[in-house]
Amino acid sequence: MRHVTVGVTPPYDVTVGEDALTVLPGLLQGYRRAQVVTQQRVLDACGDRLKDALPTAVPVTPALIDDGEASKTMATVESLCRGFAASGLLRGDVVVAFGGGVVGDVAGFAAAVYHRGIAVVQVPTTLLAQVDAAIGGKTAVNLPEGKNLVGAFHQPQAVLADTTTLTTLPDVEFRSGLGEVAKYACMPDGREVAELLDQEAPQVLARDPDVLSRLVTACVAIKAAVVAADPEERTGARAALNLGHTLGHALETTLEHSLAHGEAVAIGLVFAANLAARLERVGSDVPERVAALLNELGLPTKVAGPTPTVDELTAVMARDKKAKGGLTFVLPGPNGLEQVDDPPARAIEGALHVVGVGA
């Protein structure tokens, strides 16, 4: 197993490997009660692994939420918190989030607000959650007006990324996680990720256990360093993790989540690279390299089918959490990744045209 420490206060470890779930009993020692939050399909796929890992000395109450982004609502959080109260969960108890990004976001937010904050252990079971969503303490739910607009920072006690759970994922969900992996490959510190994808893409797509463990660990190391430098997005350093996400989140919202998160991020990466090139922040070869990487991983580079209008996307992007009253994008440039406010409309529209919007 591999370990990466997230250097916040207090620090915690991300454990990556085929046996990461075996660490769970030790983490739950000292807690009176544990509340597992998960989904039925996750239990069907890998619930036996969780059952074998849970200590018999700690009473465990399961709570199920629905699948998909539609369950990331305040109503779901209220339902969870009422269930916590009904089962007698107290401030000194712990929530175990067992599932993908939706479970981690909702369970983490519920843990952040119940009794004004109780402990949470993140046990991500999807590639997207293992490399990104479960790390860093960002928890949130959606509003009709946009994605992740209501939430809280609530760092976990630990993260257990058991890579055996990745073998249970449908292909579309695994590819969605590769969208976030591709984001790390496009970051200034992402050379190790990029090299792994370049040299061992077939093994990644075949879900080779050793290669996946190395890939997840390399991504986690990047995110851990950024989170430690900017735990609550106060300095702007953490905004680098939103590369490709401004358009990605807007596509998810306007398309009513018919596009998977990682697919939307992949399209957002192509948009960001092209916008940066149009602003002469990077050379014309950068968009080509980004598109080639995504094609190799089987990820989309443009919106297929009916597309939202430029005006619809612009309205949603203006509500992005990074926005300062206009449009703000994270773009590559000579000084690395930076936030760029209100680039010319013509450049934005040209970059949107490349990804199939406004064509």
| Domain 171-222+239-354, CATH | 1.20.1090.10
Omega within 30 of 0 (cis) for the link into 306: no
In DSSP terms, 331 is beta-bridged to 338
> In this predicted structure, what is the pLDDT of residue 57?
64
Q: 2-168 with 171-222+239-354: one CATH topology?
A: no
d(CA 249, CA 257): 9
d(CA 299, CA 287): 15
For residue 66, count other CB atoms closer than 10 A to its CB. Answer: 14
d(CA 173, CA 183): 16
Residue type, 160: L
**Which tokens in the block code for residue 54?**
């849970």
Listed by start position, the domains of the chain span 2-168, 171-222+239-354
> In this predicted structure, what is the pLDDT of residue 359?
65
* Alpha-carbon dihedral angle through residues 141, 144, 146, 150, given to the nearest 10 degrees: -30
Collect all residues with Cβ–Cβ distance below 8 Å to 230 and sequence separation of at least 6. Answer: 236, 237, 238
For residue 265, count other CB atoms closer than 10 A to its CB. Answer: 31
> In this predicted structure, what is the pLDDT of residue 146?
86
pTM of the prediction? Answer: 0.92
> In this predicted structure, what is the pLDDT of residue 312?
94
Q: Averaged in consecutive runs of 10 residues, what is the pLDDT profile of the chain (359 residues)?
A: 97 96 92 94 92 77 91 97 95 96 97 98 97 96 91 98 94 94 96 95 94 97 96 86 94 90 96 98 96 95 91 91 83 94 96 91
| Domain 2-168, CATH | 3.40.50.1970
d(CA 122, CA 120): 6
> In this predicted structure, what is the pLDDT of residue 108?
98
CB 53 within 8 A of CB 150: no
